[in-house]
Amino acid sequence: MTLDVSRREMPHSTDKSPRLAPGQRLTDGFPVLTYGGVPKIDLATWQFRIFGLVEDEVTLNWEQFMALPQSKSHSDIHCVTTWSRYDNDWEGVRIADMLSLVQVKPEAKHVMFHAYGGYTTNVPLDELLYNDALLAHTHDGAPLPLEHGGPLRGVVPHLYFWKSAKWVRGIELMAEERPGFWEMYGYHIHGDPWKEERYS
Ligand SMILES: Nc1nc2c(c(=O)[nH]1)N[C@H]1C(S)=C(S)[C@@H](COP(=O)(O)O)O[C@H]1N2
Ligand SMILES: [Mo]
């Protein structure tokens, strides 16, 4: 099956209000929240793998990744620790475009992001097809700083920011929902900021 990756608007750009999700406060800064250290990543050996419930697993090196169609998105960050940061400009590859490189099996309904360093987080497949969901290498016009996930991070802005994996190295397609790192330690399995899906 070829996934329907026709451009989709993320729900909060149309019907999520107020803009500041409940229980959040605005910050001008950009806090760093990492469990553990910053992994050492060499672009010469960097790889991104799409695997799991696909017909044809794909592995890209950095050059191949950067040759994919590039997109921009503008979105707000809502962190479960209650800070929000408006108006982030991201550049990278839409996750929908990444997924169109493979034939996703029809039973695939969820994904797990895998990151260098071992971090994982799960997201429903449908929700990664919104056009603001990116794998981003650039933030506010500059290469993504290492502590914020450079060279590449997930950006899934309609969910709490722990769903945006830094240092991503793969997407695994799965039939069933499976908890990622923070989800195993009590964070909500879904994480919608407007429903305050913080902890379970
Ligand atoms: N690989 C990895 N990705 C991660 C994390 C992490 O510890 N490791 N922390 C998550 C959490 S809890 C948050 S709030 C955001 C923080 O991103 P920032 O440090 O760029 O603000 O990254 C998410 N992605
Ligand atoms: Mo977080």
d(CA 46, CA 116) in angstroms, rounded, equals 10
Nearest ligand, CA of residue 120? Answer: 1
Q: What's the pLDDT at 13?
A: 47
Tell me the torsion sign for CA atoms 83, 86, 92, 97: positive
What pLDDT is stored for residue 3 in this prediction?
73
Is the residue at 15 inside a domain?
Answer: no
Does 173 map to a domain?
A: yes
Question: What is residue 11's predicted lDDT score, i.e. its pLDDT?
Answer: 57
In this structure, which residue's CA is closest to atom 21 in ligand 1?
32
- pLDDT at position 193 is 97
CA of 1 to the centre of ligand 2 (A): 35
Per-residue pLDDT of the chain (200 residues), as tens digits, is 567 766 677 655 445 779 999 999 999 899 999 999 999 999 999 999 999 999 999 999 999 999 999 999 999 999 999 999 999 999 999 999 999 999 999 999 999 999 999 999 999 999 999 999 999 999 999 999 999 999 999 999 999 999 999 999 999 999 999 999 999 999 999 999 999 999 99
- 26 within some domain: no
Ligand 1, pocket residues at CB < 6 Å: 31-35, 79, 115, 117, 119, 148-149, 161-162, 164-167
**Position 183 in a domain:** yes
Q: What CATH number corresponds to the domain at position 183? A: 3.90.420.10
pLDDT of residue 8: 72
Per the domain annotation, does 37 fall within a domain?
no
Is residue 83 a part of any domain in this protein?
yes
Residue 32 in any domain: the answer is no
Structural domain range at position 113: 46-195
User: Does 17 map to a domain?
Assistant: no
Please state the domain count of the chain: 1
Pocket test for ligand 1, best of 28, 30, 32, 33 (most atoms within 8 A of CB): 33
